[in-house]
Amino acid sequence: MSTYIEKTLELKYPPLAIFHSQARPDEAKETNLQCAMSLVAQAAKGETVAMDAATCRCNGAASGFGLVDFDIGAFPGGRDCFLHFLSIGNKGWERGRAAIAQLQESGAPKHMLEEFSEGEGFRKSPEVVSNWHSSLPKVDPSGPWAVIKPLKDLKEGEIPRAVTFLVNPDQLSALVVLANFPGPGDVDRVRVPFGAGCQCMGLFPFAEADREPPRAIVGLTDISARLYLRKALDHDVLSFTAPWGLYQEMEANAPESFLNRFAWKTIMGKKE
């Protein structure tokens, strides 16, 4: 059965439950995908997916979903090459050029060589990247597996740590308003931080669960994540991830909210 929010927003994709587990669920398919966003796309199409630090091929996804700390020292060329990769690129300094040569010898894909050399340009400088990395929250996983599955498919004993909605701009607007609905002063309960797609569905909302009041996280503003998802999902999709407690509050408040009023009904084409 769909939830009130899912039904009223007429979501194309089901809300996704994200949590840690001691074991890989029996129904979860084994995977060897490069980017964790591919797992998100599979879950959005109704599958149960799971990853642990050993089976995840993306250097950042295991940390993005809170399984391990983000070890940028394991990046090709080490920590400093990662700082350059996210900002100005590695072709302009000696250690970076040596790392580029090693990647070429190893047969790295062309797009990886280009981004490693030129830099992704997501932050202004390596120093800015370093400050961002130092500010990332730390969370304690309750198991070695990160599980993503449609919320409706939760089994007894499975409690989400967060719930992700994959939405268009109208639906995102509704969720932002609903998150800020309940009380006086609650007008800043949604964040849009700089971060990877997986961090905005895992690490950041997991950390927000311990904050009072908890805040939801808008994601898929990560250009790399959008690159991976542009064919698997709609081009205009963004993510809205709420810690479990905030999601429950939003679901409880939804029936008395604007979702039954003129503006939203008109947007949805239901106003008589």
Residue 126: both structure tokens together: 């390596």
pLDDT along the chain (272 residues), means of 10: 87 97 88 78 94 80 88 90 97 96 94 95 97 94 95 94 97 97 82 95 96 94 88 91 97 96 90 54
- Looking at residue 182, its pLDDT comes to 87
Q: Burial level of 183, CB count in 10 A (0-12/13-18/19+)?
A: exposed
Q: What is the spatial distance between Cα 22 and Cα 112, in angstroms, rounded to a whole number?
A: 34
Q: 134 Cβ partners below 8 Å, 6+ apart? A: none
Give which of 157, 186, 162 is closest to 65, Cα–Cα: 162
- Looking at residue 108, its pLDDT comes to 92
Please state, as a whole number, how many other Cβ atoms lie within 10 Å of the Cβ of residue 98.
13
| Residue 15 near residue 166 (C-beta atoms within 8 A) | no
Q: Is 254 helix (H, G, I), strand (E, B) or coil?
A: helix
Q: What is the spatial distance between Cα 195 and Cα 216, in angstroms, rounded to a whole number?
A: 14
- Looking at residue 197, its pLDDT comes to 94
Give the strands of the sheet with 162-167, arranged side by side: 49-51, 145-150, 16-21, 162-167, 238-243, 216-219, 190-191
Q: What is the spatial distance between Cα 263 and Cα 113, in angstroms, rounded to a whole number?
A: 49
- Looking at residue 126, its pLDDT comes to 97
Helix (H) or strand (E) holding 147: strand 145-150
Q: Provide the terminal-to-terminal Cα distance of the chain, rounded to the nearest Å.
A: 27
| Residue 177 near residue 218 (C-beta atoms within 8 A) | no
Q: What is the spatial distance between Cα 29 and Cα 119, in angstroms, rounded to a whole number?
A: 34
| Residue 204 near residue 137 (C-beta atoms within 8 A) | yes
The predicted model scores a pTM of 0.93
